[in-house]
Structure 1
Amino acid sequence: MNKPGPLRLERDGAVLILSNTDAPWNRMSFAYMDALEQAVQQAAADPDVRVLLFTSDGLDNFSVGMDLKQLVREGADRGGFEAILDQRRRVLGMIEALDKPSIATLYGNCLGGGLELPLACHFRLAAEQGAQIGLPELELGTVPAWGGSVRLTRCIGRERALEMILRARKIDGPEALRIGLVQWLHPLAELKAAALALAHELAEKPPIAVAGVLRSVVGAGDLPLEAALDAEREAVRRCFASRDQAEGMAAFMEKRKANFNGS
């Protein structure tokens, strides 16, 4: 039997499900990151993919992050530490900048890169019980290296981010919900189904308008006010030049469900 690749891609309608196959730990190996980079690039260019859902095999752990033994053993062959970090920063930046919603499931250990990837996503769902979420890099004598300290701070605020990172503290799902790190909690057995249901809900929205919202909220959210308002105005222009906007208006007037096709 052929060994499965490090990343399994499945299509469920307009949803692309990207699963780490290194159960039970689901480490983010070099091969996983290579496959992830290629998959995200292809999904960004594929109009039939409207939502990306990041998860992992099994129900033990989303991911314990980078394979540290592989880093020590093979890092030089990958161009050294800087090249490795460059790729991981690049891939997470691509996910964050997507014009399509991205969703991550957090369960079991979500540590280091296993939290940094979800932080680059637009939506995060966590298990009600059993999740251990954190950036424990200080225990290894270093700091989060894939944008985790920056994105965590922007997500939950400076004081909470400092407390989590400097104490290398791991939090559970309910606390993650309370501080705004995740948007929803679900029983572990229902978590992946809930994430897929959310993905399908988002996939039914008008793609041009969704892209406009993501550009305005994520892409322009940190710009000065006038520049951000200009970005929003451009998103509105694109919508009103689209057939989807006409379809949405017609569906509203005719009291029916709109059928958006991304044109």
Structure 2
Amino acid sequence: MSSPLLSERRDGVLVLTHQAAPWNRMGFAYMDALEAAVDEAARDPQVRALLLTAEGEANFSVGMDLKELLLHSAARGGAEAVLDQRLRVLRKIELLDKPSVVTLFGFCLGGGLELPLACHFRLAASEGAQIGLPELELGTVPAWGGSARLTRCVGRDRALDLILRRRKIDGAEALRIGLVHSLHPLAQLKSAAFELARELAAQPRPSVAGVLRCVVGAEHLPLADALAVERQAVLACRDSGNQDEGLHAFLDKRRPQFPVP
């Protein structure tokens, strides 16, 4: 049986493609493979950014494989253990000190939105996207951190509107409310996402890691603690040699040549 996750490395970017078209349901095998890939990316200095996408142009994902959950969760330690793994994997992506980019197209529902909400950059198709957290249709609530992350992303009122009314919004509305960063024609979405990931991968590694620790890792800390995290990030850039090179390049009116970590 082939893996539901294709892993490719290009220009410092680890491209992770879900291979379960057309629906790309997030089953046990996919989440296992995704967790392993994220752990590997965290260890590998040659990986400097992640791109999460799905095969084809039909759908990013309709979320969890509900039939698999109902029939086979006991073998995985029960439904609680299954949900715990998904929360863990998304938190690993969110706190990774390497930037992540994700594509949203077609159905991006339930887990198919909760996974993108854990990524640092979200790009959506300008046509055909249907994005939402319709868990109330199943008599439940978002279970992979969707309600918390969506609220932090678009605000309480918009999160309530989307979740309680089971709304599925298109890319244009997602951009308007700040749920995604940019829109692209479907045929160009994946290439645009890769170019963004490659741009991020080309940035000085300690500086990128520091920004992510400051903006994401320290987001909810008291101001004094967040400032302490920022100071640590500044010192790490200095110790890496990036800061000295950046300052000298500026003064010399040349492009900086940051050391490879």
Query: Given the two structures, how large is their TM-score scaled by the length of structure 1?
Result: 0.97
Task: Please say if 1:155 is aligned against 2:166.
Answer: no
- CA shift, 1:195, in A, is 0.4
User: 1:113-262 residue pairs with structure 2 within 5 A?
Assistant: 113-262=111-260
Q: Aligned pair 1:19/2:17, yes or no?
A: yes
Kindly indicate whether residue 62 of structure 2 is the aligned counterpart of residue 90 of structure 1. no
The CA deviation at 1:89 is 0.3
Superposition CA RMSD, Å: 1.0
Distance in 2 (CA, whole Å) between partners of 1:257 and 1:102 is 25
Letter of the structure 2 residue corresponding to residue 28 of structure 1: M
Deviation of 1:256 (Å): 2.8
The 5 Å alignment of 1:3-42 reads 3-42=1-40
Letter in 2 for 1:140: L
1:44 aligns with 2:42: yes
1:262 CA drift (Å)? 4.2
- Quick one: distance in 1 between partners of 2:185 and 2:40? 32
Between the aligned residues of both structures, percent identity stands at: 67
8 Å CA contact retained: 1:128, 1:187: yes
Q: Distance in 2 between matches of 1:9 and 1:260?
A: 27
**Distance apart, 1:253 and its partner CA:** 2.8
Q: CA separation in 1, counterparts of 2:209 and 2:260?
A: 10
- Could you list the per-position Cα deviations for residues 39-93 of structure 1 after superposition, in whole angstroms to 9, with x for gaps in the alignment? 1001011111000000000000000000011111111111101100110000000
**How many residue pairs were aligned?**
261
Alpha carbons 1:99, 1:214 under 8 Å: kept: yes
Structure 2 CA distance for aligned equivalents of residues 259 and 202 of structure 1: 16
What is the one-letter code of the residue matched to 1:199? A
Give the Cα–Cα distance (whole angstroms) in 1 for the partners of residues 69 and 2 of structure 2: 21
> What is the deviation of 1:246?
2.3
Alignment partner, residue 55 of structure 2: 57
Maintained 8 Å contact 1:27/1:65: yes
Question: For the residues of structure 2 that align with 1:242 and 1:175, how far apart are their CA atoms?
Answer: 42
Secondary structure class of the residue paired with 1:241: helix
What is the letter of the counterpart of residue 179 of structure 1? I
Distance 1:162 1:50 in 2: 35
Aligned to 2:103: 105
CA positional deviation for 1:13 = 1.5
CA distance in 1, matches of 2:60, 2:66: 17
Could you tell me which runs of 5 or more consecutive residues in structure 2 were left unpaired when the two chains were aligned: none
The one-letter amino acid paired with 2:61 is S
What are the ranges of 5 or more consecutive residues in structure 1 without an aligned counterpart?
none
What's the counterpart of residue 64 of structure 2? 66
SS in 1 for 2:16: strand
CA distance in structure 2 between the aligned counterparts of 1:135 and 1:262, rounded to whole angstroms: 41
> What one-letter code is carried by the residue in structure 1 that aligns with 2:89?
V
2-side partners of 1:160 and 1:101: how far apart?
26
Indicate if the aligned counterparts of 1:4 and 1:21 stay in contact, CA closer than 8 A: no
| TM-score, length of structure 2 as denominator length | 0.98
